[in-house]
Amino acid sequence: MENIRTKTFSGFIRLALILGLLLFLPAWTVNYWLGWIYFFVFLVPCLIITLYFLKHDIELIKSRLHAGPTAEKEKNQKIIQSFTGILAIGIIVLSSLDYRFGWTRIPFYFSIISDLIMIIGFYFMFLVFKENRFTSAIIQVQSEQKVISTGAYSFVRHPMYSAGLLLFIFTPPALGSLLGLICSVLLIIFLILRTLDEEKVLIRDLKGYKEYCEKVRFRFVPYLW
């Protein structure tokens, strides 16, 4: 268990360093206040959620340590995850470049609203983790896994991705950019492809998932898709 905690905290430190580089190198300044606000809006909820589950459900943390294209078992997901990873980086880099060169501008208050919406997205993510301890970072069916149909799962099939949508969409305006939304839209397209492929795996390998899909019709947003 101590090894898991060490890996978790070292991973968090790497995340903080990488996020800082992605924000401030393209902006070419540390005098980027929207970048600093975003830095803490992103990392503080991540730290709080991590600390909570290290104490209350370390197996969830363990299952999420294995992430990224190389950890995926399905070939399609390796490809999709590679593109989503590039685009996730692209959202931040393009937004920071936009700030540096002043290609687009949005009102400061809208950036703050975007930060608040992102915090809501993280809280929603936290609730999803509490509801479903089988929420892995890769597509797989774990031993003893069962279909979850309570909480947010009673409204949409993939509430984790619903929370992710808030982060993807509101990162560019939080950083004072509209141009970064180009990468956001492309990432959402790949997220849809990931979801469609994931559902094939879950219908194939997870007992009761097909019936769950018939009961809960929407994947991300109720009454939309």
Predicted local confidence at residue 1, as pLDDT: 60
Angle between helix axes 108-131 and 159-174 (nearest 10 degrees) is: 160
Structure tokens at 156: 């949409």
Of 166, 135, 164, 165, residue with least CA distance to 148? 135
User: Do the Cβ atoms of 131 and 152 come closer than 8 Å?
Assistant: yes
pLDDT for 20 equals: 98
- Residue pair 65/3 in contact by the 8 Å Cβ criterion: no
Q: What was the pLDDT predicted at 27? A: 97
| 72 has pLDDT over 80 | no
The pLDDT tens digits of the residues spanning 81-117 come to: 899 999 999 999 999 999 999 999 999 999 999 999 9
**pLDDT above 70 coverage of the chain, percent:** 93
Are 75 and 185 a contacting pair, CB within 8 Å? no
Pick the CATH number of 2-215 from 3.40.50.300, 1.20.120.1630, 3.90.650.10, 1.10.1060.10: 1.20.120.1630
For 158-216, the pLDDT digits (tens) are 999 999 999 999 999 999 999 999 999 999 999 999 999 989 989 998 899 999 999 99
Please check the confidence at residue 143 and state whether its pLDDT lies above 70. Answer: no
pLDDT at site 178: 97
| Higher per-residue confidence, 136 vs 190 | 190
Token pair, residue 224, equals 């939309």
Confidence of residue 2 (pLDDT cuts 50, 70, 90): low
